[in-house]
């Protein structure tokens, strides 16, 4: 099966490309390289999703499925510049969907986010949890989810929506909520203690990038018309995360604590049971082992 991966040179995208190849698929990558530079060979197009050439590429390659991972992922930037965020996350997605229709694409697998839920009203958050995003980034992700529903109803373009928890692993950038793992690794690698905002008892749901890539491969042929959480289902405090990572960098200093950041959620964890039922997916990588893989990658990493 030929699969076009939008954003396939980035953090999650590059792992998805590897997983697709491992499953016997033929991946084609479109990426503007603004978020990553893990270049696949040979089927790579350096393109922005808003470019006119995107439709030409889709019609030339004729993929059966498109995995849409391209995004502006900095929540803070979305707050500072909502128009830019809407351009990169809503308008670019619409241009991709229009191109999919013109090229006869059968299905889109869309990378959404736990940010669509906003402040938790209950935990763990399942897919029936109210969606009240508290950032333009979350609002944009939810908007694209709605557009996918409209395109399915009007034009028959199939979809599966995957709402990610905090994805971590090798090749992660410092951007986005899940970037805390990369940020901690950067400081520990440099011999500094990690910075923790607040008391460190705030919790998040961390899911390994290899498990996320596997969910995308499964969604190629499963979960039509469905929305599913992709997370570990386990609440991890930032203090525990810090201790686990410090153990991977022996001799590292103790963390320093700073004033809480405005708008930070106190607790967050997703319920992944629907993905277990509909995709036959569940996370396989335990957090300590996943952090070990991540730390090994960053031990010799040259930050830019």
Residue with tokens 């990588």: 285
- Predicted confidence at residue 176, as pLDDT, reads 58
Mean pLDDT across the stretch 43-62? Answer: 97
Q: Is 208 tagged catalytic? A: no
Q: How far is CA 172 from CA 54, 74, 105, 181, in A?
A: 26, 13, 29, 8
Among the options 38, 117, 137, 208, which is catalytic? 137
- Burial (CB count <10 Å: 0-12, 13-18, 19+), residue 183: middle
Chain segment 113-155, per-residue pLDDT in tens = 999 999 999 999 999 999 999 999 999 999 999 999 999 999 9
**β 166-168/206-208 pair status:** parallel
Residue with tokens 């197009």: 45
303 pLDDT more than 80: no
- Predicted confidence at residue 54, as pLDDT, reads 98
Cα 226–chain centre separation: 17
Chain segment 158-180, per-residue pLDDT in tens = 999 999 999 999 999 876 555 89
Q: Are 245 and 295 in contact (CB under 8 A)?
A: yes
Chain segment 65-95, per-residue pLDDT in tens = 999 999 999 998 999 999 999 999 999 999 9
Q: Which pTM value belongs to this model?
A: 0.96
Q: In angstroms, rounded to a whole number, what is the distance separating the alpha carbons of residues 26 and 64? A: 10
pLDDT category of residue 35 using cuts at 50, 70 and 90: confident
E strands, the chain, are 2-6, 26-31, 44-46, 65-68, 107-113, 158-164, 166-168, 195-197, 203-204, 206-208, 226-230, 236-237, 256-258
Mean pLDDT (the chain, rounded): 94
Q: In angstroms, rounded to a whole number, what is the distance separating the alpha carbons of residues 60 and 4? A: 11
- Burial (CB count <10 Å: 0-12, 13-18, 19+), residue 99: buried
3-state secondary structure of 299: helix
Between 94 and 302, the more confident residue is 94
* 250 Cβ neighbours under 8 A, 6+ residues apart: none
HSE at residue 112, side-chain half, CA atoms within 13 A, is: 30
- Predicted confidence at residue 175, as pLDDT, reads 62
39 pLDDT more than 90: no
């Amino acid at each position: 099966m030929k699969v076009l991966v939008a954003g396939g040179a980035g953090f999650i995208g590059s792992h998805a490309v590897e997983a697709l190849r491992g499953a016997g698929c033929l991946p084609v990558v479109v990426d503007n390289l603004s978020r990553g530079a893990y270049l696949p060979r040979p089927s790579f197009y350096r393109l922005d999703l808003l470019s006119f050439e995107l439709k030409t590429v889709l019609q030339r390659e004729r993929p059966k499925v498109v995995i849409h991972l391209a995004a502006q992922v900095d929540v803070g930037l979305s707050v500072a510049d909502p128009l830019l965020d809407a351009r990169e996350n809503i308008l670019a997605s619409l241009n991709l969907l229009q191109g999919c229709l013109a090229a006869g694409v059968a299905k889109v697998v869309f990378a959404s986010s736990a940010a669509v839920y906003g402040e938790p009203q209950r935990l763990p958050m399942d897919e029936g949890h109210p969606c009240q995003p508290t950032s333009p980034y979350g609002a944009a992700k939810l908007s694209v989810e709605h557009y996918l529903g409209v395109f399915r109803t009007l034009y028959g373009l199939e979809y599966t929506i995957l709402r990610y928890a905090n994805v971590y692993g090798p090749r992660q950038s410092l951007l986005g909520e899940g970037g805390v793992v990369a940020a901690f690794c950067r400081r520990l690698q440099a011999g500094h203690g990690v910075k923790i905002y607040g008391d460190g008892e705030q919790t998040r749901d961390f899911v390994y990038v290899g498990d996320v890539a596997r969910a995308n491969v499964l969604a190629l042929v499963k979960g039509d018309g469905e929305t599913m959480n992709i997370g570990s289902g386990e609440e991890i405090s930032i203090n525990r995360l810090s201790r686990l990572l410090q153990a991977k960098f022996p001799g590292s200093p103790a963390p320093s604590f700073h004033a809480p950041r405005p708008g930070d959620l106190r607790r967050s964890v997703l319920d992944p049971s629907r993905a277990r039922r509909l995709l036959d997916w569940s996370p396989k990588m335990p957090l300590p082992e996943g952090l070990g893989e991540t730390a090994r990658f960053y031990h010799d990493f040259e930050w830019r």
